[in-house]
Amino acid sequence: MSSSENNTRILVVEDENEVRESYLDMFQFFGYQVDSACNGREGIVKVTKENYEIVVTDLNMPEMNGMEVLKRIKKLKPDIEVIVITGYATLENAVEAMKVGAFDYFTKPVDIEHVRIVLYKCVQQIKSRRENEELRNVNTKLREINELKDKFITITNHELRTPLTVIKGYLDLIDIFMEDKKDPELAEAVEVIRSSMLEMVDVVEHLHDLSYFDYGKKKISKQYIEVQKLVESVYNEMKVLFQKRGIEFHLNAQESSMAIMGDGERLKRSVRELVQNALKFTEKGGMVELSFYVKEEANKLFIRVSDSGIGIPGDKHALIFEPFYEVQDSMHHTTSKTDFMGGGIGVGLTLVKEVVSAHGGEVMVNSEPNRGSIFTLILPIET
Ligand code: ADP
C-alpha cells in the first residue's frame, strides 16, 4: 500500500449499521483513513467541516438519498471524488450518478477485489489531478518570472545608457583639460575610470543585444562580408591581450577571397566573444587558435576557436548557451576584469547562438574538462 493511499481520507455514508461497519473495516484493511456518517444530512455536515478525498455513499437512503448527497458534494467541494453504492436491481441509478459526476459505483453485495481496484484508480486520479495543478502553478510562476526578467533587462539597459553617455562625454572633456597639465596621478585615475566605464558599456551592450534579439524574433540585415578580413580584424584587435596574459594566439587562415552575406558587425562580435572566452578560460602558457575554412560540398563556412583551457563538462554543453548561465562562479575567472573589459555575465554564448541561427547556421562545441574547448560557428554560404 503506498503512502498516498494511507493518507487518503474516505467518508462512508450508509444508513444500515452493519453494511456501514463492513465498509469501514474493509477500507481500513486496505490502509485508508476512514470516517462514517449514518445518513446523507450528517454526511454533508461532515464534508463541509472535514477534508476528505473520497466519499462512498449508498444511493438508497431515507431522508436524503445518495444522489442528492452526490449533487451537493459536487457543488460544495467539486474536487472530492464520489463513489456510489447500489443494488443490481437499480443499476440505472448508478449510471445516472456517473452522469452527474460520480467517479464509479459498487454493486451490492460488494466484490472486495473490485472495491480495492476502484479505490486505487480513484486515488491515482486524485494524485495526477493534483500533480497537474502543481505543474500549472509552477508554469504560471515561471512565465511571470521570465516576463519580470525581460522587463528588468530592458529597464536596466535603458536606465544605464544615459548616465554612461554622460560619463563618457565628461571623460573626453577631462582628456582635453588635462592635455596642458600632464598630471600622472590624475591621468592614471582617469584611465581607471575609463576602463571601468568600458566594462559597464560592455555589459550594457550585451543586455541591449539580448533584448534586441528577444530570443529569435528579430531578423538581421545582411551585407557582403569578406571572411578573412573579419577574422583578421578580430585577431589583430585581441592579440595584445593574449601577449599580456602569456598565452599563444595563432591565426590559421590561408589567403582567401571567401565572402558571405550576413550582419558583419554582429558576426564579428560573435567571433570576438568566442575568442574572449578562450582567453578567459585558458591558463598562462596555454594556446588559442582562430581559424576558418570552407566545406565546398556542403556549402558551409566554419569559423573555429580552439583553446587548451579548462574545458567544459559534457553535461554543461547545452546549458552554457542559456542566458546568464556560467559553469564557474564568475568570481573565480582566472583573468583580471580589466584585461578583457569585464568578467562576463553569462550571455555571450546566448547571443552568439542567436546571431548564428539568425543566419541559418549553428554553433558546435567540443570540450572536455582540462583538455580545452573548440567552438565552431557553422554558417551557410548563400550562392
Ligand atoms: P561569460 O560572460 O560568462 O563568458 P558566456 O555565455 O560567453 O558567458 O559563457 C558561458 C559560460 O560557458 C562561461 O561562464 C564558462 O563557464 C563557459 N565557457 C564558455 N567558453 C568557454 C571556454 N572556451 N572554456 C571554458 N569554459 C567556457
The answer to whether the CB of 354 is under 6 A from ligand 1 is no
**What is the β-pairing status of strands 54-58 and 81-87?**
parallel
Burial tier of 84 (Cβ tally within 10 Å: 0-12, 13-18, 19+)? buried
Model pLDDT, residue 157: 80
The answer to whether the CB of 342 is under 6 A from ligand 1 is no
From residue 326, give the alpha-carbon distance in Å to each of 192, 273, 347. 27, 14, 9
The per-residue pLDDT for range 309-352, each reduced to its tens digit, is: 999 999 999 999 998 888 876 545 444 444 434 457 888 999 99
Take atom 21 of ligand 1 and give the residue whose Cα is closest. Answer: 277
The per-residue pLDDT for range 117-131, each reduced to its tens digit, is: 999 999 999 999 999
Three-class secondary structure of residue 366 per DSSP? strand
Provide the grid cell at 265. Answer: 558587425
Mutate to test the pocket of ligand 1, among 280, 331, 333, 335 (most ligand atoms within 8 A of CB): 280
The answer to whether residue 3 scores a pLDDT higher than 60 is no
Ligand 1 mean position to 346 CA, how many Å?
7
Ligand 1 mean position to 308 CA, how many Å?
14
Residue 309 DSSP symbol: S
The answer to whether the CB of 52 is under 6 A from ligand 1 is no
The per-residue pLDDT for range 66-106, each reduced to its tens digit, is: 999 999 999 999 999 999 998 876 788 888 999 999 999 99
The per-residue pLDDT for range 162-218, each reduced to its tens digit, is: 899 999 999 989 888 888 777 888 888 888 999 889 888 888 888 888 877 665 566
From residue 318, give the alpha-carbon distance in Å to each of 87, 322, 323, 366. 61, 8, 11, 11
| pTM across the whole model | 0.66
Closest by Cα among 283, 27, 5, 36 to 127: 5
Looking at residue 160, its amino acid is: L
DSSP string, 23-72: HHHHHHHHT-EEEEESSHHHHHHHHHHS--SEEEEES--SSS-HHHHHHH
Take atom 25 of ligand 1 and give the residue whose Cα is closest. Answer: 311
Given a contact cutoff of 8 angstroms between Cβ atoms, the answer to whether 222 and 263 are in contact is yes
The answer to whether the CB of 347 is under 6 A from ligand 1 is yes
DSSP string, 125-139: HHHHHHHHHHHHHHH
The answer to whether the CB of 307 is under 6 A from ligand 1 is yes
The answer to whether the CB of 373 is under 6 A from ligand 1 is yes
Residue 321 sits at the vertex; the CA angle it makes with 319 and 327, to the nearest 5 degrees, is 50
Provide the grid cell at 126. Answer: 486524485
